Structure 1
């Protein structure tokens, strides 16, 4: 499984969390600019996109929404609200490929996203 990391903040921390949670299941985890990461997702060069910003949806997902479409994107963490584990799993099972959240939510949401991807 190939992951790209975009968004505006904490890119290396997200990449480390994905590597830790996915282990050998991740064939690549690459930090990119938002446009490059979104284009990789759209072209099939990447399977999933994860990104963070201060709101969880703006800078984390703006380019992914513009390039791959809103129907492929989910904001799973925003200031004062994180989706429940069940809600995050439902987003993965619904076929979402790009996930946005705030920097402080990385350790909460990334494990749920990764485990949902590999249990689907």
Structure 2
């Protein structure tokens, strides 16, 4: 967690910088932090039971690793998807309402409409 905190601290420090300058920071600093995290992942993955919560988390992180490290390539790309998550929060909460649709066709129509609007 401390290493991930370092990544976000670097992002906070460079929030008002131009993308080119932020990309240089990421290439010099964030890439090294990510390399340490990757070494820890590779080191601990074989010793953890895959069906355990930690094992599932490490398996997921290993599978998503290329996506996680993409932000180092471009200073314009955010390292977090919080803005996207917050944008769809109302939609996700609203899904529970579909349980009370009068018909299956109505629920499907609502799902299609929400999907179209959010896309």
TM-score scaled to structure 2, two decimals?
0.24
> Relative contact order, CA 8 A, sep 6+: which one is greater?
1
Instruction: Tell me which structure has the larger Cα radius of gyration.
Output: 2
Which structure has more helix as a fraction of its residues?
2
Q: Which has the higher strand share?
A: 1
TM-score by length of 1: 0.24
